[in-house]
């Protein structure tokens, strides 16, 4: 066993790496940023209505009435044995009883203790001698280990050849920029620095969260997560300062990264497009990961942009650099024992036409003339990332991959549905890389397209570790309210039963996004809404300095209800920045979307375990067994017996690629890219050079080439391709 060194001041020592490659519209329509509403560019789906025959009657996207009687009796994140979701009892989560279980085990072994007492005394003497010897060694070696120096390693996670630094609450951590902070974790979490093995899996976010060297028990232990929105995919209400710098431009920014990147590029005196990397460097740092663990959160959902993997000519985004910061996120999450849900948040051509897709406006991914070519390009990105995170060095760290965030604007009416074909195709591609069964690559998360969860029952039945990601918000109901009254218990009646039934009938289901937002605030779109009915209460919910203790407690209840209703969740988002359009021009924007701000100011819980059975304290519990989660997923849903055996009826009409509706446009073949490029292998971290066998590619048998544009072929604009295929065709 290697010597253990207590942390004093620790150096991150992350090295930046240079990656490969180099690389107009006005604000009129106002589509919702996170969920569809009436009047948005795309039709509102039935997801906005309660599930048929569910034990509640409210509309989850409407403003609740002051009375909660309309919510009815519902089961809220409860298991079939009525002990609470994931086996919780008496309002306490099952994992809170770890110490009690250990005490019980000690009691059982009490009689045996006396039998070994003599041996124990002898062993103690030996241990004391060893400790004294190790103390001498540690004093000699402490400076080298704390400074983050490297040594030899066999590259296998969890193995070490030299000292390991174990940090706890109260220790000082030195970051790569030379600044320091004090690690604060009241939940018993530990962080790990192991310079000889940068892929050490021993860190633990909290004492009641499994360390990274253990498999996450999906469906048995709750995910308490938060999104890192606005970091690698900037949005105007999350990082308003980036957009507000250019608020006087004509034409104005479109509230998206496309026009922001164009403005930055033109602003050579202000730093040009390098301003984007400066944002990456400063908005989220190692300290944020440490604070996330200290907040009792054990997962992050990390939205990543497609331009992390390069751009094509004409795309204004900063190419490749975001991948450097994905690698930093991996390193920091590993250090503090946090798991990652890696989400593809933007797609070439835009997958939903909303501002968080990269470019606001037209949908040209899996839609239109360039829909197939853009999908081919995105599949390369997903393939490269899957190969990377399925390596032994990463598979415990990144147990979920979200293949596309909130796709909208594709044809969901023509049967069979082309998006169903995409999901099956990408699932098969991922499992061909990883293999079948628990521990072989990540769970594959698909978004529900804002349809009811019931619509997804039976989809790809038999699939190995398929997850359903659902985003629920009260924000987009089109109502304006100056009061929190009626909201705190609303998530319980709105969503608790739906999530329980989806876990029972589909498989692992989680709330990938939610917030405390009560109404749309204009900064979501990089402008101010002119409608008085929309804007009149913005000041109330943006000026958090005026909120009373009673309001903060109601907001906390609202948060706890969300957490309990979802069971497994990721709050949107961890932090936002100061907006010049906030009250007084000096406050942090969108406070109801800022977990960290709520934590610091008393309207978010300091321990998310307080959410266990919270809904049952707010409303009556329905005894209908169909409303309860049975307490565990089926074996095939978690990579056990039967996993990967797709039911023929589940794939009969959708096991086709490319989808016929995309392969031809106007009765002519659609343009495609060609599979003649190099495999989409991603760079590995420079700080691990020489100490690991990590090469960025998990499956050496996967040798298929990557896709690239056909040389000398004139493709339509991938982002605004029009309605006619090119002549000659690019195939």
- What pLDDT is stored for residue 74 in this prediction? 36
Name the more confident of 432 and 35: 432
Q: Residue 268 domain-assigned?
A: yes
- What pLDDT is stored for residue 391 in this prediction? 97
* pLDDT tens-digit series, residues 587-624: 999 999 999 999 999 999 999 999 999 999 888 777 78
Q: Residue 281 domain-assigned?
A: yes
Q: Is the pLDDT of residue 196 over 80?
A: yes
Name the more confident of 37 and 536: 536
Lowest mean pLDDT segment, chosen from 16-20, 460-464, 477-481, 630-634: 16-20
Positive/negative CA dihedral, 410, 414, 419, 422: negative
Q: Residue 365 domain-assigned?
A: yes
In Å, how far are 582, 646, 668 from 421, measured between CA atoms?
45, 14, 21
Give the bridge partners for 446, in sequence order: 468
Q: Residue 727 domain-assigned?
A: no
Give me the domain span that covers residue 619: 48-93+214-651
Smallest CA-to-CA distance from 597 within 560, 638, 547 is with: 547
Smallest CA-to-CA distance from 305 within 317, 315, 313 is with: 317
Average pLDDT, the chain: 80
User: Residue 185 is encoded by which pair of tokens?
Assistant: 């974790």
Smallest CA-to-CA distance from 168 within 186, 181, 180, 154 is with: 186
Lowest mean pLDDT segment, chosen from 67-71, 375-379, 417-421: 67-71
- Which DSSP letter does residue 704 get? P
321 backbone dihedrals φ, ψ, rounded to 5° = -60, -35
pLDDT band, very low/low/confident/very high, at 77 (cuts 50, 70, 90)? very low
Name the more confident of 292 and 46: 292
Q: Residue 118 domain-assigned?
A: no
* pLDDT tens-digit series, residues 122-173: 455 444 434 443 333 333 333 333 333 333 333 333 344 458 999 999 999 9
User: Residue 667 is encoded by which pair of tokens?
Assistant: 């009765």
Average pLDDT over residues 304-315: 97
Rounded to two decimals, the pTM is 0.81
Q: How far apart are CA 526 and CA 252, in angstroms?
A: 9
3-state secondary structure of 4: strand
Stated as kind and residue range, the H or E segment containing 322 is helix 321-336
Using DSSP bridges, classify how beta strands 706-708 and 674-677 pair: parallel, antiparallel or unpaired.
Answer: antiparallel
Average pLDDT over residues 86-92: 35
Q: How many domains does the chain have?
A: 1
Q: In this structure, what CATH number is given to the domain that contains residue 378? A: 3.20.20.80
Rg of the chain over all Cα atoms, to the nearest angstrom: 26
- What pLDDT is stored for residue 479 in this prediction? 61
* pLDDT tens-digit series, residues 533-584: 444 567 788 899 999 999 999 999 999 999 999 999 999 999 999 999 888 8
What is the CA 327 to chain-centroid distance, rounded?
Answer: 15
Q: How far apart are CA 442 and CA 431, in angstroms?
A: 9
Q: Check if the beta carbon of residue 465 is closer than 8 Å to that of residue 513.
A: no
- What pLDDT is stored for residue 254 in this prediction? 93
User: Residue 424 is encoded by which pair of tokens?
Assistant: 């099956």
| E strands present in 194-244 | 224-227
3-state secondary structure of 569: strand
Q: Is the pLDDT of residue 56 over 50?
A: no
Q: Is the pLDDT of residue 319 over 50?
A: yes
Q: Residue 146 domain-assigned?
A: no
Residue-wise over 627-641: b if at least 16 C-beta within 10 A, else e?
bbbebbbeebbbbee
Q: How far apart are CA 411 and CA 563, in angstroms?
A: 33
Q: Residue 674 domain-assigned?
A: no
Q: Check if the beta carbon of residue 428 is closer than 8 Å to that of residue 370.
A: no
Q: Residue 273 domain-assigned?
A: yes
Q: What's the burial of 192, exposed, middle or buried (CB within 10 Å: 0-12/13-18/19+)?
A: buried
Q: Is the pLDDT of residue 108 over 80?
A: no
Positive/negative CA dihedral, 237, 239, 243, 244: positive
Q: How far apart are CA 508 and CA 518, in angstroms?
A: 28
pLDDT band, very low/low/confident/very high, at 525 (cuts 50, 70, 90)? low
Lowest mean pLDDT segment, chosen from 375-389, 437-451, 467-481, 694-708: 467-481
Average pLDDT over residues 668-686: 95
Lowest mean pLDDT segment, chosen from 42-56, 218-232, 257-271, 474-488: 42-56
- What pLDDT is stored for residue 477 in this prediction? 65
């Amino acid at each position: 066993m290697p010597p253990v060194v207590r942390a004093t001041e620790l150096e991150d020592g992350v090295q930046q790496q240079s990656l490969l490659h180099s690389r107009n519209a006005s604000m009129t329509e106002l589509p919702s940023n996170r969920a569809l509403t009436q009047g948005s560019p795309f039709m509102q789906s039935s997801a906005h209505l309660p599930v048929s025959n569910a034990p509640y009657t409210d509309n989850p996207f409407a403003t609740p009435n002051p009375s909660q009687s309309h919510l009815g009796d519902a089961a809220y994140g409860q298991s079939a044995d009525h002990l609470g979701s994931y086996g919780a009892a008496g309002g306490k989560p099952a994992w809170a009883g770890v110490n009690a279980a250990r005490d019980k085990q000690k009691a059982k072994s009490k009689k045996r203790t006396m039998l070994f007492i003599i041996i124990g005394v002898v062993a103690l003497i030996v241990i004391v001698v060893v400790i004294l010897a190790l103390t001498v060694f540690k004093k000699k070696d402490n400076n080298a280990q704390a400074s983050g120096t490297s040594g030899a390693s066999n590259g296998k996670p969890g193995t070490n050849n030299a000292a390991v630094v174990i940090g706890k609450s109260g220790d000082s951590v030195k970051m790569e920029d030379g600044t320091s902070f004090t690690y604060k974790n009241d939940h018993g979490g530990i962080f790990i620095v192991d310079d000889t093995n940068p892929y050490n899996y021993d860190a633990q976010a909290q004492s009641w969260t499994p360390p990274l060297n253990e498999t996450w028990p999906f469906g048995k232990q709750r995910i308490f997560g938060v999104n890192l929105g606005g970091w690698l995919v900037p949005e105007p209400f999350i990082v308003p300062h980036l957009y507000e710098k250019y608020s006087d431009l004509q034409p104005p920014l479109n509230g998206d990264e496309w026009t922001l990147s164009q403005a930055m590029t033109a602003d050579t005196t202000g730093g040009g497009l390098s301003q984007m990397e400066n944002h990456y460097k400063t908005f989220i740092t190692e300290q944020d990961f440490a604070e996330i663990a200290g907040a009792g959160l054990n997962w992050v959902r990390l939205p990543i942009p497609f331009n992390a993997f390069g751009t094509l000519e004409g795309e204004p985004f900063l190419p490749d650099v975001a991948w450097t910061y994905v690698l930093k996120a991996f390193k920091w999450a590993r250090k503090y024992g946090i798991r990652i849900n890696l989400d593809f948040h933007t797609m070439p051509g835009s997958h939903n036409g909303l501002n968080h897709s990269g470019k606001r406006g037209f949908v040209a991914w899996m839609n239109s003339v360039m829909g197939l070519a853009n999908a081919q390009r995105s599949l390369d990105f997903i393939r490269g990332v899957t190969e990377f995170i399925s390596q032994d060095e990463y598979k415990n760290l990144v147990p979920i991959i979200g293949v596309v965030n909130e796709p909208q604007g594709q044809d969901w009416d023509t049967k069979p549905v082309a998006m169903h074909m995409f999901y099956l195709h990408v699932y098969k591609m991922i499992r061909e890389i990883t293999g079948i069964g628990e521990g072989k690559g990540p769970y594959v998360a698909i978004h529900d397209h804002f349809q009811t969860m019931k619509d997804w029952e039976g989809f790809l039945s038999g699939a190995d570790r398929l997850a359903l990601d659902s985003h629920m918000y009260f924000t987009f109901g089109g109502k304006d309210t100056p009061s929190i009254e009626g909201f705190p218990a609303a998530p319980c009646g709105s969503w608790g039963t739906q999530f329980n039934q989806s876990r029972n009938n589909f498989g692992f289901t989680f709330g990938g996004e939610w917030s405390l937002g009560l109404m749309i605030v204009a900064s979501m779109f990089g402008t101010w809404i002119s409608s008085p009915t929309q804007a009149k209460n913005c000041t109330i919910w943006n000026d958090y300095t005026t909120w009373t203790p009673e309001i903060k407690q109601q907001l906390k209840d609202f948060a706890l209800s969300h957490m309990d209703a979802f069971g497994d969740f990721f709050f949107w988002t961890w932090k936002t920045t100061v907006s010049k359009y906030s009250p007084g021009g000096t406050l942090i924007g969108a406070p109801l979307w800022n977990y960290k701000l709520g934590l610091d100011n008393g309207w978010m819980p300091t321990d998310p375990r307080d959410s266990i059975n919270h809904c049952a304290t707010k409303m009556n519990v329905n005894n209908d067994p169909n409303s309860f989660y049975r307490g565990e997923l089926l074996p095939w849903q978690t990579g056990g017996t039967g996993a990967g055996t797709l039911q023929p009826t589940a794939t009969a009409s959708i096991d086709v690629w490319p989808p016929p509706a995309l392969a031809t446009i106007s009765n002519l073949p659609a343009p495609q890219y060609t599979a003649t490029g190099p495999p989409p292998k991603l760079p590995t971290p420079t700080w691990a050079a020489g100490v690991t066998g990590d090469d960025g590619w998990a499956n050496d048998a996967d040798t298929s080439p990557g896709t690239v544009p056909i040389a000398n072929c004139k493709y339509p604009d991938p982002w605004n391709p029009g309605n006619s295929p090119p002549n000659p065709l690019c195939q």
